[in-house]
Structure formats: structure tokens, C-alpha cells
């Protein structure tokens, strides 16, 4: 895979350079969909209701993924790897839903997830003018930052009060626009179906971001209201025909983060500082978690979802960094930037925008100087422990909730309170040995990054070694007990001040330094950047028009593309695979991990129609966070389920191209076929096919 | 394991502080053995011939380990993990001696190792005065460095000419003494016996540096001369009784490196800069190699020995760094240093020694500033590829061998030429995909560490991405062909100048920068340090006497200790285990990796005497490099085979303590028992028991 990337990236980008625009590019806002392109290129011009229906059938998993309603009875389809953390939290010693899979034959068998919150986007309101109005030219960065935070908190709280919906103001175009998103919230989420991880993630890390693929990466939940399956108005119908070659399809999901509008100086920061530091952290975590897993089966089970997510990020970032290190990518970005800057320079209306790029370049210096301390203290990497996370939340909740809404840290805004409590009081399992391994390792790393002589580090260690101190903190803390957390939360500042819990004391000890470095980044980096990107956005709209899309923000977007084969190392890779290919690949690898098929799949092979399409690719523009997004056809029917991109798509973080980059999906035919033949889940298969519970 | 370390390190060091001296401490020089202690504490006072015999029965593996002759017919005992690289090089697709083990029933079946060189220490000559005489007080560091290098090269070359023995001047006490070591060299080394890696390394990374243990970590080679088994005068007899509890035993081997005499400023450098950088590199390598191994069985086979060595170093360094981060250790070191400095301050004879500590503290700054560039360019971490290593050697050989011996880089001294050629022309397998994975990863890392804007990095990349450039370099190079290497080597400077091989061109391109940063470290760090440590050594000898030992230097040392149980978490850990414990541990873990027993061991369990002692611990002072050392009793008979230390011994890098630190061995009873019951290797069992080939 590494080889393929090395060999094709140059070619890929060579292909990008001349055109600069790609027909199927874009993670479009639902309030600014790509109507023009769809009409012109595909002759497709659906009514507004088509968009509304797809929007309201789409579901966000707050743990970081996408999903969709696929029956009137609140059935939600997503990826196995999106459901992984829920599966992990429902498992325990001797009960492993991750490894063995799960199927609830009846409603009574459906198991409530520990702390899964799902959101459905109901409405978008453009509040750009309101937000921008509070920032005056004469304000210092800190004042501007606080004014903007204040007005956003107010808009959110007012909206929640008015509508009862979770309300978040989303920053788009890195600060060019602000939209208010209103979400319906579901917190009674129950597990219905999951295959074995080994078939969901067949090929493991080796095949991750690769194609052809053979993964049944699906998982089904059901949302409940008042103890009963929620009746949902909007859900997606199921296509029996699946995705045909060259067919136009749509992806509705929540891409997490892209850096496509970044200036060259920001990309250089990411290449030289940001990504290398992330890679250092991920490599370290991956080794630590692999070592922990190696201690035995139960250890492996405890670390599974964390290890998956770390290895997955590592592979994605590795591909992204390779893109940044490719001079062809940088040349492309430089050319784009120069073109825009030249246009701005000759446009008197945009005179005040001309300094934006230099401002952004300048703030990379304080960013580079503070990012490591920020990550350790405010990001919490120095204290990799669930109990520290809880302590941090409790300590800050006591401070923040005592303040007026507009003055709080954004994550303690009134509109976030409900979700925060839901998570804080979750009964997710906490494993003492796992906590210890994580905290010892991370406190050792804190010494390496901040230095043992750092005054705060000295106070944190209290004269002990990192390992000894970590053990002392964990042994002394009672925060694993939800009742203790509730009492501290409800007791507010007084209870926190009186607490002798060592984890609470630690969270208090580091809080001032953590807030300080956060403020440096907010005031010296984020705020000037926002104002500068606002200028760039204005310039772009003026020069290139508004038929465009902002970088991904983990909010709902619409992408589109065709189900198209691609060429790799001179070889055509067909757009789809079948179950037959799965068995062949396992055979080619002597059924050895990571290419081993679960026993049930070997026993029941004869029952399965091996010609059934299994996975397929399309050119729709996606990124991490899109996992679990439905793929629908023109009729809005589910033809697939996004779960990955190929290795050539890893540069989509910075630049999209459909020459060879592809997103990867499970086909709509594969899921019911496997449910019936392998899992005896006929009722579920029928529910998705008919849109109603059987 | 991490937990145990965290919890016991404080206790361990608390135990160290009051006494400061430990009876069983020391990696003693054979020309200054611990006669006084042995006589006083153990009433043991053997004749000089006892020491001479043990010395000449000891063998050094130049790949980084120890061994011993155990029959008159040149049979050499070492660890499986010392033989691992030889096993790996003899294996190939579909032939895996690492996984399956190996046994040569007859001489004809013994397979010649690809490039294994064994050395036996025949003589030591103190050349301290000769070396020191050339360094004059008025010399600049560079002059002093070159003068010393020159006289050492001359001593070595003269000695080799005179004796025909490989001759190396060893720097002891960090520059306090210089001894000439003369080695007999064996290069026809043939594989006789190896068990399956799974039994040699039972418990894998999880049990590495742990105790109790159940590992048959042994491997046997035979050295040949003139095509026949070498007749050796000195070899160790085998003990049938093994090591008894509390028995005095001796370890004769080649500890690689310790930092016990380091000043506090050097330890701080290691804690804050050196070790964190090494850990960063090891974590990255471990992830890269694990990912490569995950691609399939053959990939896993190719990467096995490298991955083992990286994971092993990572675990050892992790323990070492934990020690450095422990304030108790630093306080101990500070107390020791203060005591010596105070004594120096009041001793007028040692007046000129007083500034040594400040000099050493001062050089840590240029060291920290240059170590990353040094590691990337001179250490070769930027170009992790066997072909680059070959190219570097060829390019430098052309330069260096053209110079007079005294002016050459030390590794190109006349005395090294034979070993260098032996390695350079080795037919070890080189796997193109493995080379590519390593080189792409390391060139990406080069960009991260040196920066993409570094002028040399720009030249190296030649406008391409690191991955693309790495592929281009490997695809274009012909250095995998030994004949090509020979031609270039013999063609000297002219051939190198004419070569268009891209790897040769790369090695030439980076050579000036690599030499430059090497010179900075040699002149600004190593040379002032050597002179300062010479002063400290003089002060130590004057104040504490000469009954002491220098830090480890991968040369032959004698350690001693008792076979003693130890206490961990309040529980007594018996000094030895049995085969019975092996089967029990596998059962406790459902025979799942890394606690799975090879099939042959399961089938033949009934044949094995399960009461046979398997592994045992003793207090002898060892470190990495001691792997494969024989453990002998007062009669000089083999009672065991060193293969590891427990987790509490990982701080021995900096400070020895026998409170709970232990070295770990395979018992002399286990090896012949397993050979007979499991491997049908009766002839080999008899050879070690009788000391002669059957």
C-alpha cells in the first residue's frame, strides 16, 4: 500500500494540476446544495423536498460518525467501527460483542447503549451578520474573541429555549460564515445488530484504506422515545438493485475536518510541526496499546476500540503527511493561492483583504511555540485517563456553570449542558489496569515533552516518579463511582473546593496553566486567523462566486459522485467486489489473520449467494466522520453504506481529485443477504427492505 | 509489568540509597578481576588459570551478543535471540528456521551462517600511557581527537601485524584508561541447533524482562577452521546438577553499554533529550514494522528479527527512562557526585580534576543541538535501507582506505578491514518490498526531523516526495548484487566517482554533511568529555581505590552473584521455574499467543521430565550484550545460560542493586532434557554433557 501511494501520488497530482476543478468535488451545505452542477452535469434537479427528506433521514453519532434512519421505527444504520465504542462499552469480561457480534431477535433483546447520543439536523439559520456585528475593528484579539464567544453562546441558548432543540453555531469557511444548526437529540439508543469485528474489518490494518475490499462494516441501532421505538417521519427506503456502474449517487453525512481552504503557510505548519507531533503521539499510543493488548485476551478486549481508533488515525495521518510532503501538492496550493492573491491585488473592493495571508503566516509562530504545551495540558495528553477527563469536567463545570452563559468556555455553554451531563454520568466501564497503563505512559510523556524541570510538572509529580505518581492518583480516586461524580457535580464550587480526591486535586492543579495556554492559542492564533479567513472567504466569494462549499466541520453535508472503476499501477480496479472475492482472499492468505473469516461464515458459506455485490467505490467527496453515511440513488434509496476511502483518497484532506481517489461502501445487497444466510436475522433484513419493523 | 515497575522502583531505590555499595555489583575486567571481594565474601580464591580458562572459553558474537565454547569440537552455546539474525538470514520464503527451529543431525547438515563473525579474547595489554602521551595540554580539541585516533590506529595495526589477531584499543572509564584487546577471529560459523522461536521467546513482549519465565532461549553453532570443526583448547564443562539456591555463580560475557559513571548532567541529558529521541524513533519503527508484518505471513517473516530487536530495545529503554525520571535515582546520583566532588575539592593532588563536572555539563548543549542531525545523517536513520548502508560503506571505503591508517575514521582502521569486507560482501537476503517500506518511512521522518526546507533534504529529494524518491533510489540501485559491490570496492575512488548507481550518488551527496556533524560531536562533545572523564577516573582511583570496574563497552567482563529468590509486591518469587510451570502458564492463557506452546511440545509432553528446572535468576550484574553468556559454578562448569534481566534490573543501566534486580538464565538441566525429549537431538545433548562430538 505504501508502495502504491508512493508511486501514484505524483501521477495523481500531476493529473490535478492542469484542471484545478473537479466535477464531483464538494462537501456541500444543505442550505447551499450543488444544484447547478447536478443539473448541468447530471441533468438531475430534484425538488427541495428531496433534500429535506435526505437531511432529516441523516443521523450524527456524537462519538464521531454518521448514520441514517432506515425504517419508520427508528432503525439507524451505521458502520461497525462507528458502533465500536458502544459495543465495547456493552461488553465485559467473558462477553464480547465486538468479537462475537450481536443480534436482537426481539425488541426486548435490544440493549441500551451506555452513553450514545444521536443528533438529527432539523434546521439551519444563517447568523453570520449577528455574529460578525459584535466584533469591532478597534477590538484587541482577546476582546474580539470573547465578544464572538458571547454572542454565539447567546444565540445558542436563545434558540434552545425557543425550540427545545440542541443548538450550535457552526463556524464555516474558517470564520467566513456562521450558521446556527438545530438538532433533535436522541439519547435512548439501543443495539440491534452487529456482525463479528473480523468480518466488519476483514483485512485489518493492512487493508484499511485499501481497495478492493471485503468488509461488512455495518451496525444497526434503534432510537427510542419514552421507552418505545421512535416513530420517525423521515427514513430512507432500501434499494434492492444496489449501485450500478457509473450511476450517480449521493452521500449524506458528517465529514469531520478538512484543510482545503488553508493557506500555504498553514499547510507548511501542518507539514513541519502539526502532523509530525500528531504522528509522534499516535506511534507512542499504538505501541503502548499493542503492548497492553499483548498481556492476554481480556487486556486485548479492553483496549480494542482505542487501539482501532489510534491505528486508523495513524494510517490516515500518515497518508495525509505524505501528501503534505509531496512537492506537487504544495506547488498546486501555491498556484491556487497566487491566483487568488493576484486577483485580490487588482480589485479595489477587496483592498482590505490583501493582508490576510500574511496575518495567517504570522500566527503560525506562536502556534508552533505553544502547540505541544497546549496538547499536553489543555488537550489532556499528559493525563490519558478517563478519570482525569471526569475530574477535569467536574472542576471546570463548577467554575463555568457559575458564570453567565456568555462568559463560559464554549463547551460549557447552556446548549451543551445536557449532552455534557449525559456523558459525565455514563456508566461506561473503567478498567483500573488499563487506566494505569495509559496514565503512567502519558505522565512519562509529559516529562519528555514539557521537561522534568518544568515547575508545573514538578508540582504534578510531587517528588515521585511518573509511574509511582500515576498509581497513587488512580488508587486514591473515587471518580469511577457515578454517584461520587453526581455529588461533586451537584455540589458545585463548594464541593470541588472541599474534595480531597487526588484526581480532582490534579485537575485543579493544572487548570490555570491549561487555561493560560488555551487563551494564548485562542487570542494569538485562532482569533487573528478567523478574521483573516473571513477576508479570504469574502475575496473568494467575490472572485469565484458562492457556488462553493466550506471545509468540513463535523456537520451535515451532501456529496455526490459516480460509481466508477479506477486505474492503479496500470491495472483497472473494478468498481465492486462480491462475497466470492472475500472467500478467495481468505484462501490466498491461508485464512490467517488479518485475512481470516469468522467460523460462522465458513460453516454457512453454502447458504450465501456468492455473486452478491459486497463493497463498491464511488467518487463522492468524503473524509473521516463520513463513516456510516448512507449512499443513495436519485430516488433517495439506500444503495450503500460508506465506510472508508482508498489510499489515494488520503490527500483529500488538502485537495480533492477523482482521478483515482474513491470512497468505499458496503452494498445494499450485501447486508440483507448476510443477515439471512449467516445471522438468521431475517426480521431485520425484512425491516430494512420494507421500511417497517416486522 | 508496567504497574510492578511503577510500584517497586521507589522501594528499590529507597533500598539503594543508604548503602551505596552492593556486594555483587560489577562487570569486572579480566585483567582486574574482583579477587578481593570473592575471597572476602565467598572465600573463593581460584588460581589465575581459572580466570584464563573462563576468558578463553568465552565468545563474542559481533552481531551483539555473547556465547561460550561447550565442547572441544568448537560447539558454541548462545541465546536463540542472539542467533536470531543468523537464523533469519538462512531462512527464505517457505523455509523458516526462526519459526520452525533447526537441528543438524550430522556435520554435513550443519549450515554455514551468512556473515556471522565470532571473536575470542586472547590477550589484554594496558596501553593507557601510550595513548595519553600523544595528547598535549596545549592541543585544541580537534588536534587532540585526531592525535588520539592516530595513535590508537597505529597500536591496533602494529598489534595485528605482530600477532595476526584482530586488535582493538578499548576506551575504559569513559577515557580514563585504554586497553588493547586481541581477539582470535572465527568466520566459518555453522548452525547446529535452534528451538522454535515460540518456545525460545515464550510469553513474547509481555513476558520480556519479566520473571518467573519459561523460555528455552538457546541456540548452538559450531566454528570451523579449514572446513573442519575447530579444535578448541578452552571450553566449559557441563554441570548436570545445575544451579542450587544461594549458590555462587559467575557470568562471563560482553555487556554492551552502561551509564553508571556518567555525571548527573549527562544523565539529565539522557533523561531530557537522548532517551526521548530514541523512544520516538523506536516507537515509529515498531509501528512501521508491525504494519509491514501485518501484510501477510511472508512479510512477517522478513521483518521478524528487526521487529524483535526494536521491541526489545523499546522495552529496555522504556524501563531505563522510567529510572531516569525517578527522582530517587537522581538524588542518589547527585549524592554520589557531591561526595566525590567534595573529596576532590579538599585534595590538592587532584586540584586539576575539579573542573571536570562543569566541562561535561557544558558539552551537553552542543550535544543536544546536534544529536538529531547526527542520528539522521551520520547514524543513517534518514536512510533506513541495507542498500544505503552498503553504499555508505563503499563510498567511505574509497576515501578512507586511500588515507594513511592513522588518519582514517576509526571504523576504517587497518584492523577493521577484514571484518568490514566480510560484512560488505555478505550474501544476506535483501527483500525489495522491505527495503522500500523502511526507506520510505525513514525518508519521511528525515523531512520531519530536519525539515523539508533544509538544503540537504531538498537535494536528497530532488523535487520528489520522500516516498517517490525512495522508490526511485531502490529501483535504480544494483547494490543488492554482491559482484557489483566487489567491483566498486576494488575499483576504489575511481569506480565510485564513475558510478551512476543512485544509492552511491545519495551516499556521496550526504557524506560531507554527515562528516561535518560527526566532527562537531567528536570535537565539541566527545573529546572534552574524554579528557574530563579521565580526570574523574583519576580522582576516583585516588579516593576510592582501583578495586573497581569501568562502564560496559561490549568487551569481555566477569560478573558474579548468587542464585537468589526475590520479593515482588510482598510476594516471594522462587529463584527457579520448571517445565511444569511452562505448561501451566500456557493453560492459564488458553494456549493463546504469546503464551502458546509449539505443537511438538504439546505432542511430546509425556516424554519430558516436568520437574526439570527450566529458568532461574541470580544477582550477577549484567546488561544488554550479556545475552548468551554462560553461567558457571566455582568449578567453572556451565549451570546456565543468561538470556534476560527482570523488570527491576532495567535501572542497572545507571545503578546496580541486588535487592530485587535479577538476571535470568536457562538452566543447564533444561537444555539436554528438551534436546532429547522434544527434538530427538540426543547426540547434541551428549556432546555438551561430555564435551566432545559424538
At B205-214, the pLDDT tens digits run 999 999 999 9
Count the neighbouring beta carbons within 10 Å of the beta carbon of residue B93.
Answer: 11
Q: Higher pLDDT residue, A10 or A229?
A: A229
Please tell me the predicted confidence (pLDDT) of residue B192.
98
Residue A122 forms beta bridges with which residues?
none
- Distance from A486 to chain B by nearest Cα, in Å? 30
With pLDDT > 90 as the criterion, what percentage of chain B qualifies?
A: 94
Measured between CA atoms, how close is B411 to chain A, in angstroms?
33
Q: What is the mean pLDDT of residues B247-258?
A: 97
Q: How far is A365 from chain B (nearest CA, A)?
A: 15
Pick from A4, A6, A210, A590 the residue to mutate for testing the B interface (most B CBs within 10 Å): A6
- pLDDT confidence tier of residue A20, bands split at 50, 70 and 90: very low
Q: What is the CA B600 to chain-centroid distance, rounded?
A: 32
Q: How far is CA A137 from the centre of its chain?
A: 35
Nearest CA in chain A to B436: A3
Write out the three cell numbers for A593.
489473520
In Å, how far from its chain's centre is CA A305?
14
- pLDDT at residue B8 tops 80: no
Residues in CB range of B431: below 8 A, 6 or more apart: B302
Is residue B14 pLDDT above 50, yes or no? no
Nearest residue of chain A to residue B315 (CA atoms): A291
* Displacement of CA B122 from its chain's centroid (Å): 20
**Pairwise CB contact (< 8 Å): B433 & A6:** no
pLDDT digits (tens, 9 = 90+) for A192-231: 999 999 999 999 999 999 999 999 999 999 999 999 999 9
Look at residue B93 in the predicted model and tell me its pLDDT: 83
Q: Which residues of A touch B297 (CB under 8 A)?
A: 589-590, 592
For residue B690, what are the CA distances in angstroms to B58, B109, B235, B239, B628?
18, 21, 11, 10, 20
Chain A residues 295-354 with CB within 8 Å of chain B: 295-297, 314-315, 321-322, 325-328
User: Is A471 in contact with B7 (Cβ distance < 8 A)?
Assistant: yes
Q: Where are the alpha helices (DSSP H) in A374-454?
A: 386-400, 417-424, 432-450
Question: What is the per-residue pLDDT for B17?
Answer: 39
Cβ-based contacts under 8 A for chains A and B: 158
Question: What are the C-alpha distances in Å from A374 to residues A370, A504, A510, A521?
Answer: 6, 20, 12, 8
Q: Is A589 on the interface with B (CB under 8 A)?
A: yes
In this predicted structure, which of A117-126, A393-402, B562-571 has the lowest mean pLDDT? B562-571
Residue A527 pLDDT exceeds 50: yes
Q: For residue A652, what pLDDT is reported?
A: 94
Check whether A7 has a pLDDT greater than 90.
no
- Given B6, B271, B441, which is nearest A452 (Cβ)? B271
On chain A, the residues whose CB falls within 8 A of the CB of B270 are none
Q: Closest approach of chain B CAs to the CA of A275, in angstroms? A: 9
Chain centre distance of CA B589: 32
Rounded Cα gap, residues A67 and A120, in angstroms: 10
pLDDT of the residue at B340: 96
Contact A10 B468 (CB under 8 A): yes
- Cβ contact (<8 Å) for A436 and B2? yes
Asked if the C-beta of A595 comes within 8 angstroms of chain B's C-beta atoms, the answer is yes
What is the interface pTM, i.e. ipTM, of the complex?
0.93
What value does the mean pLDDT of chain B take?
A: 94
H or E element, residue B616: strand B613-618
**B694 and B675 Cβ atoms separated by less than 8 Å:** no
pLDDT of residue A19: 41
pLDDT of residue A546: 87
Chain B CB contacts of A5 below 8 Å: 467
CB contact (8 A) between residue A322 and residue B295: no
**Helix, strand or coil, per DSSP, at residue B253:** strand
Give the global pTM.
0.94
Q: How many CA atoms lie within 13 A of A267 on its CB side?
A: 27
Task: Express as a percent the part of chain A with pLDDT over 70.
Answer: 97
Q: Across the interface, do A326 and B470 touch by the CB < 8 Å criterion?
A: no
Residue B240: CB atoms within 10 Å: 10
Could you tell me whether strands B58-61 and B613-618 are parallel, antiparallel, or unpaired per DSSP bridges?
unpaired
| Integer Cα distance of A331 and A337 in angstroms | 10
Query: Over the stretch A239-291, which tens digit does the pLDDT of each residue have?
Result: 989 999 999 999 999 999 999 999 999 999 999 999 999 999 999 999 999 99
d(CA B569, CA B567): 7
Interface of B with A in 521-560 (CB under 8 A): none
Q: What is the pLDDT at residue B299?
A: 94
Asked whether the beta carbons of residue A9 and residue B467 sit closer than 8 angstroms, the reply is yes
Residue among A116, A46, A104, A51 nearest A73 (CA): A104
Residue A17 has pLDDT above 50, yes or no: no
Q: What is the pLDDT of residues B617-670, one digit of tens each?
A: 999 999 999 999 999 999 999 999 999 999 999 999 999 999 899 999 999 999
Chain B residues with CB-CB distance to A287 below 8 A: 283, 286-287, 314
So what's the pLDDT on residue B94? 84
Mean predicted confidence (pLDDT) in B522-535: 95
Q: Is the pLDDT of residue A164 over 80?
A: yes
Which of A296, A440, A452 is opposite residue B2, by nearest beta carbon? Answer: A440
- B642 CA to chain A: closest CA distance, Å? 24
- B238 in helix, strand or coil? strand
Per-residue model confidence (pLDDT) at position A22: 57
Distance from CA of B437 to the nearest CA of A (A): 7
Distance from CA of residue B75 to its chain's centroid?
21
Candidate from B322, B466, B594 with C-beta closest to A294? B594
A294 close to B (CB below 8 A)? yes
Measured in degrees and rounded to the nearest 5, phi and psi for residue B564 equal -125, 135
Q: Which of A334, A468, A651 has the most B C-beta neighbours within 10 Å, making it the best mutation to test the interface with B?
A: A468
Q: Of A9-13, B391-395, B678-682, where does mean pLDDT reach its minimum?
A: A9-13
Interface contact B273, partner A, CB < 8 A: no
Yes or no, beta carbons of B283 and A284 under 8 Å apart? yes
Phi, psi angle pair for B232, to nearest 5°: -110, 140
- Position A5 pLDDT exceeds 90: no
Q: What pLDDT is stored for residue A12 in this prediction?
A: 40
Cα of B327 to nearest chain A Cα, Å: 6
pLDDT digits (tens, 9 = 90+) for B354-386: 999 999 999 999 999 999 999 999 999 999 999
- pLDDT one-digit tens code per residue, A605-625: 999 999 999 999 999 999 999
Interface of A with B in 95-154 (CB under 8 A): none
**Average pLDDT score over residue span A171-189:** 96
For residue A306, give the C-alpha cell. 482505542
**The predicted structure's pLDDT at residue B36:** 94
List B125's β-bridge partners, or say none: B180
**Residue A347 CB contacts under 8 Å (≥ 6 apart), including other chains:** A539, A542, A543
- Report B:421-460 residues touching A (Cβ under 8 A): 433, 436-437, 440-441, 444, 447-448, 451-453
**Mean pLDDT (chain A, rounded):** 94
Q: Do B436 and A287 touch (CB under 8 A)?
A: no
- Residue B16 has a pLDDT of 40
Per-residue pLDDT at A13: 43
In Å, what is the CA distance from B680 to each residue of B64, B193, B691?
30, 11, 19
Nearest CA in chain A to B438: A2
The answer to whether residue B97 scores a pLDDT higher than 70 is yes
Question: How high is the pLDDT of residue B22?
Answer: 57
Amino acid at each position: 500500500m505504501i508502495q502504491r501511494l508512493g508511486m501514484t501520488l505524483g501521477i495523481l497530482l500531476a493529473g490535478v494540476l492542469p484542471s484545478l476543478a473537479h466535477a464531483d468535488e464538494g462537501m456541500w451545505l444543505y442550505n447551499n446544495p450543488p444544484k447547478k452542477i447536478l443539473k448541468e452535469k447530471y441533468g438531475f434537479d430534484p425538488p427541495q423536498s428531496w433534500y429535506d427528506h435526505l437531511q432529516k433521514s441523516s443521523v450524527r453519532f456524537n462519538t464521531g460518525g454518521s448514520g441514517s434512519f432506515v425504517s419508520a421505527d427508528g432503525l439507524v444504520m451505521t458502520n461497525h467501527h462507528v458502533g465500536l465504542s458502544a459495543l465495547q462499552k456493552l461488553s465485559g469480561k467473558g462477553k464480547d460483542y465486538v468479537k462475537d457480534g450481536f443480534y436482537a431477535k426481539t425488541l426486548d433483546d435490544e440493549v441500551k447503549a451506555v452513553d450514545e447520543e444521536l443528533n438529527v439536523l432539523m434546521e439551519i439559520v444563517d447568523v453570520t451578520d449577528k455574529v460578525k456585528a459584535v466584533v469591532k475593528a478597534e477590538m484587541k484579539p482577546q476582546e474580539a474573541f470573547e465578544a464572538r464567544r458571547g454572542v454565539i453562546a447567546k444565540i445558542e441558548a436563545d434558540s434552545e429555549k425557543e425550540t427545545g432543540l440542541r443548538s450550535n453555531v457552526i463556524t464555516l469557511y474558517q470564520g467566513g460564515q456562521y450558521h446556527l444548526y438545530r438538532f433533535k437529540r436522541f439519547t435512548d439508543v439501543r443495539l440491534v445488530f452487529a456482525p463479528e469485528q473480523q468480518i466488519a474489518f476483514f483485512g485489518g490494518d493492512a487493508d484499511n484504506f485499501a481497495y478492493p475490499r471485503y468488509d461488512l462494516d455495518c451496525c444497526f441501532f434503534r432510537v427510542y422515545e419514552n421507552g418505545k421505538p421512535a416513530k420517525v417521519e423521515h427514513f430512507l427506503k432500501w434499494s434492492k438493485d444496489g449501485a450500478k456502474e457509473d450511476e450517480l449517487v449521493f452521500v449524506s453525512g458528517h465529514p469531520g475536518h478538512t484543510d482545503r481552504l488553508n493557506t500555504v503557510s498553514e499547510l507548511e505548519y501542518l507539514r513541519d510541526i502539526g502532523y509530525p507531533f500528531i504522528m509522534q503521539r499516535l506511534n507512542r499510543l499504538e505501541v503502548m496499546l499493542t503492548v497492553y493488548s499483548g498481556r492476554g485476551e481480556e487486556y486485548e478486549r479492553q483496549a480494542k476500540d482505542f487501539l482501532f481508533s489510534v491505528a486508523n488515525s495513524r494510517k490516515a495521518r500518515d497518508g495525509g503527511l505524505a501528501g503534505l510532503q509531496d512537492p506537487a501538492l504544495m506547488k498546486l496550493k501555491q498556484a491556487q493561492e497566487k491566483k487568488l492573491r493576484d486577483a485580490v491585488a487588482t480589485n479595489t473592493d477587496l483592498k482590505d483583504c490583501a493582508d490576510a495571508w500574511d496575518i495567517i503566516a504570522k500566527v503560525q509562530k506562536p502556534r508552533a511555540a505553544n502547540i505541544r504545551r497546549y496538547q499536553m495540558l489543555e488537550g489532556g495528553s499528559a493525563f490519558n485517563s478517563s478519570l482525569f477527563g471526569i475530574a477535569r469536567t467536574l472542576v471546570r463545570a463548577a467554575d463555568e456553570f457559575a458564570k453567565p452563559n456568555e462568559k463560559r468556555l464554549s463547551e460549557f455553554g447552556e446548549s451543551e449542558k445536557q449532552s455534557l451531563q449525559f456523558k459525565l454520568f455514563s456508566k461506561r466501564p473503567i478498567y483500573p489496569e488499563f487506566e494505569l497503563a495509559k496514565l503512567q505512559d502519558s505522565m512519562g510523556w509529559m516529562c519528555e515533552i514539557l521537561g522534568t524541570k518544568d515547575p508545573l510538572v514538578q508540582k504534578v509529580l510531587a517528588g515521585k516518579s511518573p509511574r509511582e505518581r500515576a498509581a497513587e492518583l488512580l488508587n486514591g480516586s473515587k471518580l469511577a463511582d457515578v454517584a461520587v461524580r453526581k455529588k461533586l457535580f451537584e455540589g458545585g464550587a463548594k464541593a470541588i473546593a472541599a474534595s480531597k480526591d487526588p484526581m480532582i486535586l490534579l485537575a485543579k492543579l493544572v487548570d490555570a496553566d491549561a487555561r493560560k495556554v488555551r487563551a494564548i492559542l485562542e487570542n494569538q492564533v485562532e482569533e487573528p486567523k478567523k478574521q483573516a479567513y473571513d477576508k479570504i472567504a469574502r475575496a473568494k466569494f467575490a472572485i469565484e462566486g458562492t457556488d462553493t462549499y466550506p471545509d468540513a466541520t463535523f456537520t451535515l453535508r451532501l456529496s455526490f459522485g459516480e460509481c466508477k472503476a479506477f486505474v492503479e499501477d496500470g491495472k483497472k480496479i473494478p468498481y465492486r467486489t462480491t462475497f466470492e472475492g472475500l472467500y478467495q482472499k481468505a484462501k490466498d492468505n491461508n485464512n490467517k489473520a488479518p485475512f481470516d473469516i469468522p467460523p460462522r461464515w465458513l460453516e454457512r458459506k453454502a447458504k450465501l449467494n456468492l455473486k452478491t455485490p459486497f463493497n463498491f467505490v464511488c467518487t463522492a467527496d468524503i473524509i473521516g466522520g463520513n463513516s456510516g453515511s448512507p449512499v443513495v440513488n436519485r430516488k433517495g434509496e439506500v444503495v450503500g453504506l460508506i465506510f472508508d476511502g482508498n489510499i489515494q483518497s488520503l490527500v483529500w484532506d488538502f485537495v480533492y481529485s477523482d482521478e483515482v481517489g474513491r470512497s468505499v461502501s458496503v452494498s445494499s445487497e450485501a447486508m440483507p443477504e448476510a443477515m439471512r444466510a449467516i445471522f438468521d436475522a431475517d426480521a431485520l433484513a425484512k425491516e430494512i427492505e420494507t421500511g417497517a419493523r416486522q
